């Protein structure tokens, strides 16, 4: 049955009645297990060895003293929020006078912020693509930038070495939401169905980030097709907060049009991918943190969706 459905999908694409970008999903015959089959250019989704997302295991993290603080420009951005039918996507205006540059951290080049994606679940126990100690968060906001020193745009950079950076912000439920995040959550009702778009104005990405200099980093891929293995991932060591009401509004968004709304947009997380001997590095000095009577990552994992507090660190 699945084979018949996949062949029909391929036939529709070749007849020009649809496109690859419209037909991939997070379940069924066009879900993650088939991404590498329905489009030959997405072969890495099936055969890649440096795929994302991954599970961050505390006892396998490697402290790297050469990792620098991450720098994100203070400039405010404008753009638009889109319901793509697969995810909620933030697209940054590229004709802006000031771009938000990302540098430092594990990066050898300057990257220009271009887009963001919100992944979330229809209940609190799932949602984030990356996991920490096997634990998922209710959501994950991913900010993507392209290498502006070597390449002209995201389309070119995604195929090239060190072409992309992705910053991962875990979304945790809290009473006091992130003020900058509210600029996004306040317009969820305007992107209720696929194809709907609404403007986002004067968003400070710097202020969106949690108050921490600590992060984990590894070499991986985009988590959407074509799973390009050109992405430097930076996972910040604190979540940002979203209220239950905002999460409720997010979970009301639909995959389809008003005429055919289909299923809820949530549960749009790609399954975990194997590390294949890749190293996940961190700028957290475990031994120094132990000396300050802080929790250790060696035996206990405190970065969990169910136990997080405002002042906790790993």
How far, CA to CA in Å, does 271 sit from each of 38, 129, 136, 268? Answer: 18, 7, 11, 9
* β 111-120/164-173 pair status: unpaired
> Residue 133 is encoded by which pair of tokens?
């100690």
Q: Which of 26, 120, 151, 241 is catalytic?
A: 151
* Residue 293 three-state SS: coil
5 and 12 Cβ atoms separated by less than 8 Å: no
Could you list the beta-strand ranges (E) of 34-128: 55-56, 62-63, 70-72, 76-83, 88-92, 101-104, 111-120
The tokens 């540059």 sit on which residue?
101
> Residue 280 is encoded by which pair of tokens?
């996940």
> Residue 152 is encoded by which pair of tokens?
């002209």
Has 151 been annotated as catalytic? yes
Active site residues: 151
């Amino acid at each position: 049955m699945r084979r018949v459905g996949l062949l029909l999908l391929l036939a529709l694409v070749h007849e020009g009645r649809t496109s690859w970008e419209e037909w991939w999903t997070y379940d069924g015959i066009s879900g993650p297990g088939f991404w590498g089959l329905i489009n030959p250019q997405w072969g890495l989704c099936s055969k890649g060895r440096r795929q994302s997302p991954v599970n961050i295991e505390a006892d396998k993290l490697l402290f790297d003293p050469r990792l620098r603080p991450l720098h994100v420009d203070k400039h405010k951005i404008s753009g638009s929020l889109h319901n793509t039918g697969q995810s909620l996507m933030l697209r940054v205006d590229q004709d802006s006078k000031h771009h938000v540059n990302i540098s430092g951290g594990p990066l050898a080049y300057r990257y220009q912020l271009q887009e963001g994606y919100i992944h979330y679940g229809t209940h609190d126990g799932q949602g984030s693509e990356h996991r920490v100690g096997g634990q998922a968060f209710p959501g994950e906001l991913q900010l993507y930038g392209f290498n502006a020193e070597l390449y002209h745009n995201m389309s070119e950079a995604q195929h090239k070495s060190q072409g992309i950076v992705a910053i991962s912000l875990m979304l945790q439920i809290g009473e006091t939401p992130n003020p900058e995040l509210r600029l996004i959550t306040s317009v969820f009702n305007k992107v209720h169905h696929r194809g709907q778009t609404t403007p986002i104005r004067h968003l400070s990405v710097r202020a969106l980030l949690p108050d921490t200099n600590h992060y984990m980093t590894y070499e991986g891929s985009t988590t959407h097709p074509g799973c390009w293995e050109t992405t430097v991932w930076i996972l910040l060591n604190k979540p940002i907060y979203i209220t239950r009401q905002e999460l409720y509004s997010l979970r009301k968004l639909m995959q389809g049009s008003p005429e055919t709304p289909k299923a809820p947009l949530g549960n749009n997380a790609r399954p975990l991918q194997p590390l294949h001997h890749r190293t996940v590095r961190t700028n957290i000095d475990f031994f120094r943190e132990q000396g300050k009577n802080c929790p250790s990552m060696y035996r206990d994992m405190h970065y969990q969706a169910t136990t997080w507090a405002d002042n906790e660190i790993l």
